[in-house]
């Protein structure tokens, strides 16, 4: 893929750019061809019925193409606006907040929005803790890192999220009775863990949490998200993820040369 130029952000007349950003016409999401940090955005784009293209970054060209991303990492969201501006957002959390706002996934008021963003952030960091701590760690410390995840990170996440889901009536949602960014992010984090070589051990624990499994199943039942996951692209991403996580590069690998 010829990389889109996005090393810098547009800055001319930010009030006009803000108006453009509020009226997107179509999107391109650039990420690796796996389910990880780009997955929540992909699922929201489908949920919102957006016109969008899933751009897969090939690892072969990454050494050069990374220089055209704002922080030399993915995901990156390219937005074509109704008034023909080309805008760029990066950093997974910022992209997800933006898309959630576009598709009314931030609750009914500012308080609900902040609740949703807290649950979202917590599940985002939970998944990141697994990725950094276990997936990408050096093979010689993997067992120890996995034990730390199973003994500390996982039970704390389950216990705290169960409490908040219980407070909302244990109805498969974090806030109120409708789907939000928080529901999708938590479901994506759980689905992410099902793709790992350590899935059996991890899911044995998560499966005992009725409130979290209810969130996972509620999101899986959304017709547009279900159709995306079952599509050829969705299935390919799942298969590629399993292969990638079975043999991931580990963190101490030097970064690609400029
Ligand atoms: N802070 C960034 C981190 C993104 C990130 O670490 N992306 C990884 C893939 S999940 C990446 O692009 N790595 C490529 C590299 O480091 O060269 C975010 O939250 O979006």
pLDDT, tens digit, for every residue of 43-67? 999 999 999 999 999 988 899 999 9
Predicted confidence band at 12 (pLDDT cuts at 50, 70, 90)? confident
**DSSP structure class, residue 151:** I
The structural domain count of the chain equals 2
Q: How much distance in Å is there from the Cα of 55 to the middle of ligand 1?
A: 15
| Confidence check: pLDDT of 202 > 80 | yes
HSE-up of 217 (CA within 13 Å, CB side)?
Answer: 11
Predicted confidence band at 103 (pLDDT cuts at 50, 70, 90)? very high
> Is residue 251 in some structural domain?
no
Using CB distances shorter than 6 Å, the residues near ligand 1 are 36-37, 66, 73-74, 91-92, 255
Among candidate residues 161, 166, 170, the one with its CA nearest the CA of residue 214: 170
Question: What confidence score (pLDDT) does residue 96 get?
Answer: 99
Q: How much distance in Å is there from the Cα of 167 to the middle of ligand 1?
A: 34
Q: Tell me which residue range forms the domain holding 161.
A: 110-221
Cβ contact 70:90 at 8 Å:
yes
Which CATH number does the domain housing residue 26 bear? 3.40.30.10
| Confidence check: pLDDT of 254 > 50 | no
Distance (Å, whole) CA 192 – CA 238? 9
Cβ contact 122:161 at 8 Å:
yes
- In terms of domains, do 63 and 114 share one? no
Question: What confidence score (pLDDT) does residue 77 get?
Answer: 98
Percent of the chain's residues with pLDDT above 90: 91
Q: pTM higher than 0.85 for the full model?
A: yes
Tokens coding 239: 């298969």
Q: How much distance in Å is there from the Cα of 33 to the middle of ligand 1?
A: 13
* Residue that is written with structure tokens 């044995």 in the block: 204
């Amino acid at each position: 893929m010829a990389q889109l130029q996005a090393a810098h952000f547009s800055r001319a007349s930010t009030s006009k750019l803000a108006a453009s950003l509020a009226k997107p016409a179509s999107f391109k999401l650039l990420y690796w061809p796996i389910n990880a940090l780009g997955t929540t955005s992909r699922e929201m784009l489908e949920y919102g019925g957006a016109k969008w293209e899933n751009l897969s970054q090939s690892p072969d060209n990454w050494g050069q193409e990374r220089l055209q991303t704002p922080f030399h990492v993915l995901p990156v969201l390219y937005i074509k606006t109704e008034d023909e501006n080309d805008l760029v957002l990066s950093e997974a959390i910022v992209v997800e907040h933006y898309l959630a706002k576009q598709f009314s996934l931030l609750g009914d008021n500012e308080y609900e929005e902040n609740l949703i963003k807290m649950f979202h952030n917590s599940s985002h960091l939970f998944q990141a803790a697994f990725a950094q701590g276990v997936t990408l760690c050096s093979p010689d410390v993997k067992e120890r890192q996995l034990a730390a995840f199973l003994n500390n990170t996982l039970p704390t996440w389950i216990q705290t999220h169960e409490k908040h889901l219980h407070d909302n009536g244990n109805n498969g949602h974090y806030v109120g009775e409708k789907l939000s960014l928080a529901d999708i992010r938590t479901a994506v984090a759980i689905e992410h863990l099902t793709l790992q070589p350590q899935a059996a051990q991890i899911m044995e624990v998560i499966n005992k949490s009725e409130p979290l499994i209810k969130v996972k199943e509620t999101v899986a039942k959304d017709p547009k998200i279900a159709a995306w996951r079952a599509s050829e692209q969705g299935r390919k991403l799942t298969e590629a993820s399993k292969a990638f996580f079975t043999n991931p590069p580990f963190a101490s690998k030097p970064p690609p040369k400029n």
